[in-house]
Structure 1
Amino acid sequence: MADAAPGHAGAQRELPGLPVTFRPVLTRAVLLAAAVVLFVVLTTVAMLLKGLGPGERASFVLTALLLDAVLLILARPKAVAEESGLTVVNLTRRRRLDWAEIVRVNLRTGDPWVFLDLSDGTSLPVLGIQPGIAKQRAVADARTLRALAEARSAADPGARPA
C-alpha cells in the first residue's frame, strides 16, 4: 500500500463517521456458516446412527460444540475506531489504544493483515483487516484506518509521546 504524506492533497479523504468497525466480513460469514453446518451435521449423524448410546451421542454433540468454539474464535477479529481511540480484537486478546499511540498503519504486499506501529516501539497485528479473500476491501479499510489515525493524532498533537 503506497504511503501518502499527511499534508498531500491525495491524502485528503472523506473520513467515515465514528464509530466504525473493520472486520473481514466474507471470512466471518464463511466461518459462521461452517459452524452452523458442522453442528447440524454432527448432531444429525449422532441421532441417526443406530447402536449409539446416550453418552456416545453426547460426545458427538460435544465434539461439534468444541469445533464450533474454534470457528467462533477464528471469526472474532475486528477493529473498532471511536472518537477516543481504537479497540483491536484479535483471536484471544482485546487491546484499547489511544489515537496518539498509533504511529503508523501498515499493509504491505504479502502481509496477512494490517500491522500498527506503536509509539512504544512495538507492532500490533490487526486481524480484523486481512486481504485474504477480499483484498480490495482490506486495502480500502487499511487506508481508511490510516486516514483516521493521522487525522485523530493531528487533532491532538501534544498527546503523541516522543
Structure 2
Amino acid sequence: MSQPPLPALPVTFRPGRTRAVLLSVGTVMFAVITVVALMLERLGPGERASFVFTAAVLFGVLILLSRPKVVADEEGVTVVNITRTRRLAWAEILKVNLRPGDAWVFLDLSDGTSLPALGIQPGIAREAAIRDARALRALADSHGTGAEQV
C-alpha cells in the first residue's frame, strides 16, 4: 500500500460529524428545556431558573465532549482531550495506533506511556478516522523518530 501524501501543516484533526451532532443536540436540548420552563405557569422564578441552569450544565457537558482535537504543526502535536491538553514534540511520538475496536487513536510515547488522542475517533465517520490516523502516522514518521522505531 502506498504512503498517503503528507497534509500541509498546520493541520487539525477532529471528529467533525460527532462534534456537529453533539453541538446540535445540545442547542436543541437547551432551547426545548428553556421554552418548557418558561411555558409552565405553575413554576416560580427559582424553579424556572433551575430548569435553565440544568439545561446550561447539560449543554456545557456536551460542549466538553465536542472539544477533542489533534493539531499538528512543524514543531509537534497538540492533543486536546475532554478536559486536558498536552503538547508533544514530534520526537516524543513513537507510534500512532488505531486498531480495530479502538474508540480513538492512541499515541505510543518515548517515555513508555500511551496517550489517547480523542480527536481521531471512528465513531460516526470510520473512514475519515482511518484516513486521519494514517495522515498523523505519516507525519509522525516523517517528522519524528517513528520511522526509526520499526
Q: Report the 3-state secondary structure (helix = DSSP H, G, I; strand = E; otherwise coil) of the residue aligned with 2:42.
A: coil
1:153 Cα offset (Å): 1.4
Which 5+ residue runs of structure 1 have no aligned equivalent?
A: 5-9
Unaligned runs of 5+ in 2: none
Q: Percent identity?
A: 64
Which amino acid in the other structure matches residue 67 of structure 1? L
For 1:117, what is the secondary structure of its paired residue? strand
TM-aligned CA deviation for residue 25 of structure 1: 0.3
One-letter code aligned to 1:77: P
Match of 1:71 in 2: 62
* Match in the other structure for 2:80: 89
- Alignment partners' CA distance in 2, 1:49 and 1:153: 60
Residue from 108, 112, 115 that aligns with 1:117: 108
SS in 2 for 1:116: strand
* Partner residue, 1:137: 128
Alpha-carbon offset, residue 51 of structure 1: 1.4
Residue correspondence of structure 1 range 3-152 to structure 2 within 5 A: 10-11=2-3, 13-152=4-143
The TM-score normalised by the length of structure 2 is 0.94
SS across alignment from 1:96: strand
1:66 shift after superposition: 0.5
* Aligned CA-pair RMSD: 1.4
- Shift in Å, 1:79: 0.3
- Report how far residue 19 of structure 1 moved: 0.7
CA distance, structure 2, for counterparts of residue 74 and residue 59 of structure 1: 23
- Deviation by residue 1:47-90 (Cα, 9 ceiling, x = unmatched): 00011110011001000000001100100000000111000000
Shift of 1:15: 1.0
Return the offset for 1:26.
Answer: 0.3
Q: 1: distance between equivalents of 2:59 and 2:78?
A: 25
CA distance in 2, matches of 1:56, 1:110: 44
Q: State the aligned residue count.
A: 147
Structure 1's consecutive aligned runs of 4 or more residues displaced over 2 angstroms after TM superposition are none
